[in-house]
A and B are shown apart, each in its own frame.
Chain A
Amino acid sequence: GAVVSQHPSRVICKSGTSVKIECRSLDFQATTMFWYRQFPKQSLMLMATSNEGSKATYEQGVEKDKFLINHASLTLSTLTVTSAHPEDSSFYICSASGTGNTIYFGEGSWLTVV
């Protein structure tokens, strides 16, 4: 079945630095991908819709200059957390629609900012 892969699964970075998370659709093309953030013991909150070849659509309250999204190909979307702060520490997870019009989630990426 369709698979969505995220990398890295875990990352630790220092405050003030930037970190990139990749989301790949392995056996299908995804013109649209979605990025979610999940704080411990909370729900998945939609951050943005990643559109191949065009600008991402951000949800209200999500800073587009802090969370840079690039969807340069039909199989890859990247989320870059810029100038990371400890409060950005969270579980970030992407999703994409694959064959059979089914939503597939990546494995998620744990970000810890120290």
Chain B
Amino acid sequence: GENVEQHPSTLSVQEGDSAVIKCTYSDSASNYFPWYKQELGKRPQLIIDIRSNVGEKKDQRIAVTLNKTAKHFSLHITETQPEDSAVYFCAASITNTDKLIFGTGTRLQVFP
């Protein structure tokens, strides 16, 4: 089955700096790769997603890149703000309506 690895597990940055989180997956059949932000004790919030027919997608300060050949994808957050502090999860799925296999999570701390 699918296995998703995520690095780093913790990331501390200064406000205004960029943050990058990387994930690798094992199942070449996966075609949908969402990123979630989760506050403690709350449901995951989708922040951006990418499908396998696209190499990069950007939404304001957030971007995701996908290298399907190497089976890895990354989340890039620019101009980080303290409110970006949270736990971020990558995930992989066959389709955008299928079960999600989550990465291990990254705790991002943005210091003012």
Contact = CB atoms under 8 A, between A and B. Distances in A.
Interface-centre pick from A32, A36, A103 (highest chain B CB count, 10 A)? A103
Interface in B25-66: 34, 41-44, 46
A105 B44 contact: yes
Nearest to A32: B97
B100 A95 contact: yes
Contacts of A97: 96-97
| Contact residues on A (Cβ < 8 Å of other chain), bracket | 20 to 34
A43 B105 contact: yes
A107 B99 CA distance: 17
B1 interface: yes
A81 B102 CA distance: 23
A101 B42 CA distance: 22
Contact of A105 (B41, B43, B95, B96): B43
A55 to B, nearest CB: 16
Interface residues of B, number: 18
Interface of A is mostly: strand
B97 A34 contact: no
Contact of B102 (A32, A45, A49, A91): A45
B19 interface: no
Contacts of B1: 60
Contact of B43 (A45, A60, A108): A108
B59 to A, nearest CB: 15
Interface string A3-29: 000000000000000000000000000
B18 interface: no
B96 A103 contact: yes
Interface of B: 1, 34, 41-44, 46, 89, 95-97, 99-105
Given A93-B44, A105-B43, A107-B43, 15 more contacts: A32-B97, A34-B100, A42-B104, A43-B104, A44-B100, A45-B102, A46-B100, A60-B1, A97-B97, A101-B95, A101-B97, A103-B96, A105-B44, A107-B42, A108-B42
The 7 nearest A-B residue pairs measured at CB = A97-B97, A105-B43, A44-B102, A43-B102, A43-B105, A43-B104, A101-B97
